[in-house]
Chains A and B, each alone.
Chain A
């Protein structure tokens, strides 16, 4: 039997039961569109995260305090505070590939203005932090090195903080209280949006490092990290090596022992974020494909009903010479027609849903050719796998019994 003939027979059989065919396809339609939408959202998230990380500047290095898990407590004052402010000045002085370095301490605190209060992250740092992070001030000004030297009580606030403490009014020049310590707001940071890890980067207050350590954290508080800017992207590796050598020497780490700090460059972070997004995409797509499999079960169910209903027809076809494979193909083609029609409608639905989501929910969604091809092929495989059993059942009928079937 020719494929064209098989196609015609199947299409006619499917059109005879329009509503039933449509309901059966619905499972595949939903499955395919879910797969496309989920992959689209996953890839969209991945790309926007990559962009965000790239916008941090690709020549940035993060030096983080490492955990002290090596053989218990070492003697000396540096045993807990692995990174100290002196490390920062040493890095700037002794590492030729490094242009800027900014120490960072962090804490969370309740901030009060008038009768409003807001809990936010406090970052104590030096003015270079904003340069390294490529983070401009939109109004007011940044604190200066002098402010750091004299531990001035000044603060630069992020947009989220400004919105919560100063709704409808300018914030510059106002006095806020962080842990009861009064700080003068001198600058407002540009909006940054969500970070790669999903935190609101605008929910932050920057204060001079020294002020933070003296007033908010305690004199000997650890540096959480040092943000470093290498001269350019090509100097990243060298800068990393120089810092490693210097810090090992300063922290008196003997050769063979592990570093007590971690250096991350933006490329690493970008890779890590991208790969975790990839995992998320796979998880989302897998969940979506479950609905495709459920759709396949629906197809199998209807195909079995259809085979039973058409037992007599099968008997007649066999009586006039249809071979096993003729009947097998007829029903397999029918299942494939259902699945590919469902697949095409699902692709259209998936593209529209992604479109609507990115417009109304603001999620960037990337519908790729690969995800379309992948989900369509998956639908076809479902058609074959779940159509095979009913088709085989039909093809193995005994002609006499099939003809007698009422």
Chain B
């Protein structure tokens, strides 16, 4: 833990060019996130939350600005180096679960380990089973996504995000496709990850009740931060 500032974003821009039209999704965002923080990102639809999350998740590159992840300037990394970061440091949970169809829960949870070198099939299976146990789904490991409810699928997705023991967990509207009760259960899992496993968690939500679980709330509007509050309640 050499540096407490795990994530540092400075003057970040993301502009999409579509058929000659420029869409400025993120327009000069700066913030820092420390290790072990639990942050919610809020904002209206189209305010740039997903765009920002994709950049933080090393799935996309900013148009301008600096993104330092654990002291590494992500903009300078190659495609494959970014893939390695996604594999080792970041667990990403999507709104739509994004599980592989016709693939068992266990194999879905194993997926990141396929792309990690020097790991045996047995080990892989064991780690995936452990991750499924952590989200309370170990008895469903032989089931396919189609045989699981939305909440259960999202748990499998969380298990997949956890399997490689990343230090950061990012979630883009993880409860967006779920009812409020299931959503709360899911967000409690994230809370556990943050409290018990000391993982840095950042999630996006529309729901004020869900956002309340986080200690810090960052509000976006039209691609800029309009409010950054720590310690609500």
Given A322-B83, A324-B79, decide whether A316 and B102 contact each other with a Cβ distance below 8 A. Answer: no
Given A5-B114, A324-B79, decide whether A319 and B60 contact each other with a Cβ distance below 8 A. Answer: no
B116 contacts the other chain (CB 8 A)? yes
Contact B59 A320 (CB under 8 A): no
Contact B92 A319 (CB under 8 A): yes
Given A321-B84, A321-B88, A403-B94, decide whether A1 and B102 contact each other with a Cβ distance below 8 A. Answer: no
Contact A316 B111 (CB under 8 A): yes
CA–CA, A147 and B88, complex, Å: 102
Contacts of B94 in A (CB 8 A): 403
Given A316-B98, A403-B98, decide whether A323 and B115 contact each other with a Cβ distance below 8 A. Answer: yes
A181 contacts the other chain (CB 8 A)? no
CA–CA, A321 and B87, complex, Å: 4
B interface residues, tally (CB under 8 Å): 24
- A320 is contacted by which of B54, B60, B86 (Cβ under 8 Å)? B86
- Chain B residue with the shortest CB-CB distance to A9: B114
B74 to chain A, nearest CB (A): 14
B100 contacts the other chain (CB 8 A)? yes
- Chain A residue with the shortest CB-CB distance to B120: A2
Contacts of A315 in B (CB 8 A): 98
- B59 is contacted by which of A312, A325, A399 (Cβ under 8 Å)? A399
B160 contacts the other chain (CB 8 A)? yes
Contact B102 A323 (CB under 8 A): no
Contacts of B164 in A (CB 8 A): 321
Q: Name the residue among A316, A317, A319, A399 with the largest chain B CB count within 10 angstroms.
A: A319
B112 contacts the other chain (CB 8 A)? yes
Contacts of A325 in B (CB 8 A): 80
Contact B100 A321 (CB under 8 A): no
CA–CA, A277 and B141, complex, Å: 63
Q: Mark each residue of chain B from 78 to 101: 1 if its CB lies under 8 Å from any CB of chain A, else 0.
A: 011001101110001010001110
Contact A400 B54 (CB under 8 A): yes
A398 to chain B, nearest CB (A): 8
CA–CA, A193 and B83, complex, Å: 72
Given A400-B60, A403-B98, decide whether A320 and B112 contact each other with a Cβ distance below 8 A. Answer: yes
CA–CA, A325 and B116, complex, Å: 13
Contact A317 B84 (CB under 8 A): no
Q: Mark each residue of chain B from 94 to 127: 1 if its CB lies under 8 Å from any CB of chain A, else 0.
A: 1000111010000000011011100000000000
Contact A321 B83 (CB under 8 A): yes
A133 to chain B, nearest CB (A): 72
- B116 is contacted by which of A321, A399, A400, A403 (Cβ under 8 Å)? A321
CA–CA, A5 and B113, complex, Å: 11
| 8 Å CB interface, A13-59 against B | 16
Given A16-B102, A400-B54, A403-B98, decide whether A324 and B80 contact each other with a Cβ distance below 8 A. Answer: yes
- Chain A residue with the shortest CB-CB distance to B111: A320
CA–CA, A403 and B115, complex, Å: 18
- Chain B residue with the shortest CB-CB distance to A2: B114
CA–CA, A400 and B54, complex, Å: 8
| 8 Å CB interface, A312-335 against B | 312-313, 315-326
- A321 is contacted by which of B54, B60, B102, B112 (Cβ under 8 Å)? B112
Contacts of B102 in A (CB 8 A): 16
Contacts of B112 in A (CB 8 A): 320-321
CA–CA, A312 and B96, complex, Å: 12
Contacts of B87 in A (CB 8 A): 320-321
A345 to chain B, nearest CB (A): 26
- Chain B residue with the shortest CB-CB distance to A401: B60
Contacts of A1 in B (CB 8 A): 114-115
Contact A326 B59 (CB under 8 A): no
- Chain A residue with the shortest CB-CB distance to B99: A316
A171 to chain B, nearest CB (A): 78
CA–CA, A325 and B98, complex, Å: 22
| 8 Å CB interface, B55-90 against A | 57, 59-60, 79-80, 83-84, 86-88
Contacts of B84 in A (CB 8 A): 321, 323
Given A313-B100, A400-B60, decide whether A319 and B86 contact each other with a Cβ distance below 8 A. Answer: yes
B121 to chain A, nearest CB (A): 8
Contact A323 B83 (CB under 8 A): yes
Contacts of A326 in B (CB 8 A): 114-115
CA–CA, A282 and B51, complex, Å: 60
A168 to chain B, nearest CB (A): 73
Contacts of A321 in B (CB 8 A): 83-84, 86-88, 112, 115-116, 164
CA–CA, A320 and B108, complex, Å: 11
Contact A317 B54 (CB under 8 A): no
Contacts of A323 in B (CB 8 A): 79-80, 83-84, 115
Contact A322 B59 (CB under 8 A): no
CA–CA, A322 and B83, complex, Å: 6
B83 to chain A, nearest CB (A): 5
- Chain A residue with the shortest CB-CB distance to B98: A316
Contacts of B83 in A (CB 8 A): 318, 321-324
Q: Mark each residue of chain A from 287 to 331: 1 if its CB lies under 8 Å from any CB of chain B, else 0.
A: 000000000000000000000000011011111111111100000
Instruction: Please list 6 pairs of residues, one from A and one from B, whose beta carbons are closer than 8 Å in the complex, sorted by A's number.
Output: A315-B98, A320-B115, A321-B164, A324-B83, A326-B114, A400-B59
9 A-B pairs closest in CB distance: A321-B87, A320-B112, A321-B115, A323-B80, A323-B83, A321-B86, A322-B115, A399-B59, A320-B111
A residues near B, CB below 8 A?
Answer: 1, 5, 16, 312-313, 315-326, 399-400, 403
Known: A318-B83, A323-B79. 14 other contacts (CB 8 A): A316-B111, A318-B59, A318-B86, A319-B86, A319-B98, A320-B86, A320-B160, A321-B87, A321-B112, A321-B116, A322-B115, A323-B115, A324-B79, A399-B60
